[in-house]
Structure 1
């Protein structure tokens, strides 16, 4: 018996801290950097920037520059990122059922 390689690849990306919450917030639609930062308590700006760059490199998130002034950067899910929404919804339901809200 061996672990499924596809599951391993998925969790190598999605299992990183903050990745799930970032994708989850973006399922509601495009968001500016500051809005993403405010929507995810505890994430630093540097970590958010790093995760967004990584998700962009994996083609799950697209970065769009809104010409200013002021120049603003927004992020949205690509079709590959949007395809994660059903899985995230199931994980959220599973968490509500089986994980304690105040657990580790």
Structure 2
């Protein structure tokens, strides 16, 4: 029987699993990045995230609200308009998302691939 040492017992950190369980879903990070600039009406948010359907945007906003990262606000109008903004917890993601953006500029600038000079 082969013993692979303590490495065989490694598991993903539960905090990271929760973060990527939410932010790892398609569109979610893009939505949060748009909301970092301030409150946005639904239609503006949909235009800011190319390719997202109204249904998917609504679903992702509902998930973000349930997680306590986004607040939905209704302006009675007329016309009736709904806007979304980040909560304090949502705004706290800004440093991490900006750092990921810087990382992508350095390591994924080549069409989404890590340039050869950074590979081992």
Paired residues, number: 104
CA deviation after TM superposition for structure 1 residue 43, in Å: 0.6
- In structure 2, list runs of 5 or more residues that go unmatched: 1-9, 114-120
Which piece of structure 1 moves more, 1-10 or 86-95?
Answer: 1-10
CA RMSD of aligned residues (A): 1.1
The equivalent residue for 2:59 is 50
The residue correspondences of 1:79-98 to structure 2 (distance < 5 A) are 79-98=88-107
TM-score if structure 1 supplies the norm length? Answer: 0.96
- The reply to whether residue 5 of structure 1 matches residue 14 of structure 2 is yes
- In structure 1, list runs of 5 or more residues that go unmatched: none
Q: Secondary structure at the match of 1:63?
A: strand
The equivalent residue for 2:117 is none
- The reply to whether residue 30 of structure 1 matches residue 39 of structure 2 is yes
TM-score if structure 2 supplies the norm length? Answer: 0.83
Which has the higher Rg, Structure 1 or Structure 2? 2
Rounded Cα–Cα distance in structure 2 between residues aligned with 1:79 and 1:86: 13
CA deviation after TM superposition for structure 1 residue 102, in Å: 2.5
**After TM superposition, which residue ranges in structure 1, 4 or more long, deviate above 2 angstroms?**
100-104
Residue deviations 1:5-60 (CA, integer Å, cap 9, x gap): 10111000000000000000000000000000000111111100100011011110
